[in-house]
């Protein structure tokens, strides 16, 4: 005999391979990094500084267009990780950047380091002064990161490209006013015990930053793609 739980499980399975959106109202920190230089950049050693901006973000909507099942379940269980993985792209947000700084880019052997500017590099009267105000952004990609560790999704939009069914993290379908209905598509506690949903990409900040650096080297300085990020404090 088919039970209501069986029917609910099969209904939810239809969404496991479809694009979805995950919506946050919690404030989350963000960071952006871009390389800058005042010379023609032909090598990573020609890059003078990395400009870093930090701030906060609200009302973030992420979309996953390559959902294989574990990614959706990770959002339901709020196990996305410390930072946004590659399978989540931002659809909309409200960002307030409130802090900026520059770090010197140094190539030391096979490592690229980001170092604090010295007093001379910040002194306009010094011959070592780095005039960052008159530098141009360079390199193909900027780095942007959302820190999700202390944030929790409000709701998820299933089948984001078509039917757009909105559910809360307890599995209940929400009506047009955002109110919970009696229809339930999944039970999160049951999803948490299924090993098939455990394999998905989770990134820490250092990993995401290293992947960005590798991408910049691959695109802009392929002869130097053997270099890796070292000290970046």
pLDDT tens sequence across 163-175: 999 999 999 999 9
**For residues 11-23, b (16+ Cβ closer than 10 Å) or e, as one string?**
ebeebbebbbbbb
- HSE-CB of 162 using CA atoms within 13 angstroms: 5
| pTM (whole model) above 0.85 | yes
Looking at residues 47-56, what average pLDDT do you find? 97
Domain boundaries, given as residue ranges, for the chain: 4-229
Q: Between 14 and 34, where is the model more confident?
A: 34
Say how many residues make up the chain.
233
């Amino acid at each position: 005999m088919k039970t209501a739980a069986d029917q609910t499980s099969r209904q939810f399975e239809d969404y496991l391979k479809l694009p979805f959106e995950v919506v946050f109202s919690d404030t989350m920190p963000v960071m952006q990094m871009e390389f800058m230089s005042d010379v023609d950049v032909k090598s990573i050693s020609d890059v003078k500084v990395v400009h870093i901006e930090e701030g906060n973000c609200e009302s973030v909507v992420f979309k996953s267009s390559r959902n294989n099942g574990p990614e959706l379940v990770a959002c339901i269980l709020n196990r996305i990780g410390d930072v946004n993985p590659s399978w989540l792209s931002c659809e909309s947000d409200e960002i307030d950047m409130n802090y900026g700084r520059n770090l010197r880019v140094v190539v030391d052997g096979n490592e690229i380091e980001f170092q604090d500017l010295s007093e001379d590099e910040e002194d306009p009267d010094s011959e070592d002064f780095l005039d960052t105000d008159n530098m141009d952004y360079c390199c193909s990609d900027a780095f942007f990161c959302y820190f999700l560790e202390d944030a929790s999704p409000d709701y998820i939009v299933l089948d984001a490209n078509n039917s757009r069914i909105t559910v809360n993290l307890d599995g209940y379908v929400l009506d047009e006013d955002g109110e919970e209905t009696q229809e339930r598509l999944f039970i999160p506690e049951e999803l948490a015990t299924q090993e098939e949903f455990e394999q998905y990409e989770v990134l820490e900040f250092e990993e995401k930053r290293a992947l960005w650096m590798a991408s910049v080297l691959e695109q802009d300085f392929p002869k130097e793609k053997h270099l890796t990020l070292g000290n970046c404090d």
